[in-house]
């Protein structure tokens, strides 16, 4: 009778060893899969900002702002490349102009159909370079938010190994001619050499016009003309501009009674300051003084310096003028002084109608330094001539008019 032989079991250590090997193999497979995915992601097409056309206009009061090349450089610095192309379907339009004391930039993005897909605006009272740099940052962020893929060039195809290169096509044969005589059997000569392949013609050198023409990336976007058809050019004088104004004025204290007339102003404005010279003519609505019929007119000239805000302005002025009295009975009146000198202040508000035209209204007070004095003709029978009229210490005026800027 044979007895079965018992051997110690080794299944426990072997099983643990197999589990460790399987875990190592799984980790290696996962790492290889991760590296393969990363390689495919890097090998995929790269992203770049969407291409667009640039329309850049510097309006009224923004002639000193940087040109389109500065804006393109700012966009390229942020986006990593210059995204502007002349044949791009997307249009980025930028317009910068001055509104009162602020420089305002308006941005719009339009598609190939002309529909507005994005619009924004910025304003500043500081240097225009800061505003244009902010506009470039906004454009770059917008174009980077809608990227396009860079097409990759396929690698040049190589003929498979072991296959002969295709021979070039043979030139067309002409009409068959007379058959040449066959060589005699006794003559032996060298075998005819095989036809040498003809050299393929290389590319023609570029012409002078093609060499001189700039590429798409080297073209500089020209500034479009304004609505009037004129090209917007940078003005070396900056925001300095001329102003002409015309208005109606009502005065009190310059002549006896209330006076009404017109005011003409010519001046210059730079940033928030303006200096003007005004001429004013007034006619008194009162026709008599203490029962004596008189016609009274006044002519004054003033120098006005103003500090202007967005809608309000404050001015200081100095005025010099004369008052003219025309009595119906000259023998009853004697003019003692008719020169008027005064200094004062003005406070008003202005509203802009367009880039050139604006309307304004103001009130002013004048301290009359040298007043006008009107006396009756001396009557020797009386001890002193009675006083007719003299200017009050303070005068006032109200005005309303229009101003044109050039």
What are the residue ranges of CATH 2.40.160.20 in the chain? 241-405
Query: Given this model, what pLDDT does residue 135 score?
Result: 92
Say whether pLDDT at 161 is over 70: no
Query: Which segment, 125-139, 304-318, 364-378, is predicted with the most confidence on average?
Result: 304-318
According to the CATH classification, is domain 241-405 in 3.40.470.10? Answer: no
Q: Which residue has the higher pLDDT, 125 or 173?
A: 125
Q: What is the mean pLDDT of the chain?
A: 75
Q: Which residue has the higher pLDDT, 185 or 261?
A: 261
Say whether pLDDT at 378 is over 90: no
Say whether pLDDT at 52 is over 50: yes
The pLDDT confidence band at residue 400, using thresholds 50, 70 and 90, is very high
**Which residues fall within 8 angstroms of residue 68, CB to CB, at 6 or more apart?**
54, 56, 220, 221, 222, 223
Query: Given this model, what pLDDT does residue 38 score?
Result: 42
Protein fold of 52-145 = Rossmann fold (3.40.50)
* For residues 200-213, average pLDDT: 47
Among the listed ranges 17-26, 233-242, 294-303, which one has the minimum average pLDDT value?
17-26
Q: Retrieve residue 113's tokens.
A: 């159909």
Q: Which residue has the higher pLDDT, 191 or 60?
A: 60
Among the listed ranges 203-207, 248-252, 293-297, which one has the minimum average pLDDT value?
203-207
* For residues 139-165, average pLDDT: 64
Q: Are strands 91-99 and 53-58 parallel, antiparallel or unpaired?
A: parallel
What are the residue ranges of CATH 3.40.50.10070 in the chain? 52-145
Percent of the chain at pLDDT exceeding 70: 61
Please state the pTM of the whole predicted model: 0.45
Q: Which residue has the higher pLDDT, 330 or 44?
A: 330
- HEC profile for the chain? CCCCCCCCCCHHHHHHHHHHHHHHHHHHHHHHHHHHHHHHHHHCCCEECCCEEEEEEECCCCCCCCCHHHHHHHHHHHHCCCCECCCCCCEEEEEEEEECCEEEEEEEEECCCCCEEEEEEEEECCCHHHHHHHHHHHHHHHHHCCCEECCCCCCCCCCCCCCCCCCCCCCCCCCCCCCCCCCCCCCCCCCCCCCCCCCCCCCCCCCHHHHHCCCHHHCCCCCCECCCCCECCCCCCCCCEEEEEEEEEEEECCCCCEEEEEEEEEEEEECCEEEEEEEEEEEECCCEECCEEEEEEEEEEEEEEEEECCCEEEEEEEEEEEEEEEECCHHHEEEEECEEEEEEEEEEEEEECCCCEEEEEEEEEEEEEECCEEEECCCCCCCCCCEEEECCCEEEEEEEEEEEEC
* For residues 284-295, average pLDDT: 84
Task: Judge contact between 326 and 294, C-beta under 8 A.
Answer: yes
User: Backbone phi, then psi, for 64, in 5-degree steps?
Assistant: -85, 0
């Amino acid at each position: 009778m044979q007895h079965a032989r018992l051997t110690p079991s080794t299944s426990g250590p072997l099983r643990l060893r197999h589990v460790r090997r399987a875990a190592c193999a799984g980790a290696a497979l996962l790492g290889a899969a991760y590296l393969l995915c990363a390689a495919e992601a890097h090998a995929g097409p790269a992203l770049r900002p969407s291409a667009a056309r640039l329309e850049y206009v510097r309006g009224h009061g923004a002639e000193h702002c940087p040109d389109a090349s500065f804006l393109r450089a700012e966009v390229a610095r942020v986006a990593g490349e210059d995204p502007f192309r002349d044949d791009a379907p997307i249009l980025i339009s930028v317009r910068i102009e001055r509104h009162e004391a602020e420089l305002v930039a308006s941005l719009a993005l339009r598609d190939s159909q002309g529909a507005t897909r994005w619009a924004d605006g910025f304003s500043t009272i500081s240097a225009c370079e800061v505003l244009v740099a902010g506009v470039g940052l906004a454009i770059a962020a917008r174009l980077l938010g809608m990227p396009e893929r860079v097409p990759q060039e396929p690698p040049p195809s190589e003929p498979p190994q072991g296959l002969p290169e295709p021979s070039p096509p043979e030139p067309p044969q002409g009409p068959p001619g007379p058959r040449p005589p066959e060589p005699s059997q006794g003559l032996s000569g060298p075998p005819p050499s095989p036809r040498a392949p003809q050299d393929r013609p290389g590319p023609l050198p570029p012409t002078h016009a093609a060499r001189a023409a700039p590429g798409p990336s080297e073209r500089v976007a020209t500034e479009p003309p304004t609505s009037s058809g004129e090209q917007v050019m940078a003005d070396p004088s900056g925001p300095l501009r001329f102003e002409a104004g015309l208005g109606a004025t009502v005065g009190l204290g310059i002549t006896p009674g209330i006076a009404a007339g017109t005011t003409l102003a010519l001046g210059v404005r730079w940033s928030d300051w303006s200096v003007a010279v005004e001429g004013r003519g007034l006619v008194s609505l009162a026709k008599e003084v203490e029962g004596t019929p008189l016609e009274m007119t006044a002519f004054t000239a003033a120098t006005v310096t103003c500090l202007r805000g967005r809608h309000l302005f404050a001015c200081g002025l100095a005025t010099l003028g004369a008052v003219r009295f025309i009595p119906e009975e000259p023998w009853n009146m004697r003019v003692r002084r008719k020169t008027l000198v005064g200094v004062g202040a003005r406070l008003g508000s202005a509203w802009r109608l367009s880039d050139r035209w604006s309307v304004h209204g103001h009130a002013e007070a004048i301290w009359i330094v040298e007043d006008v004095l009107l006396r009756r003709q001396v009557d020797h029978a009386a001890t002193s001539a009675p006083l007719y009229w003299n200017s009050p210490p303070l005068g006032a005026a109200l005005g309303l008019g229009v101003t044109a800027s050039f």
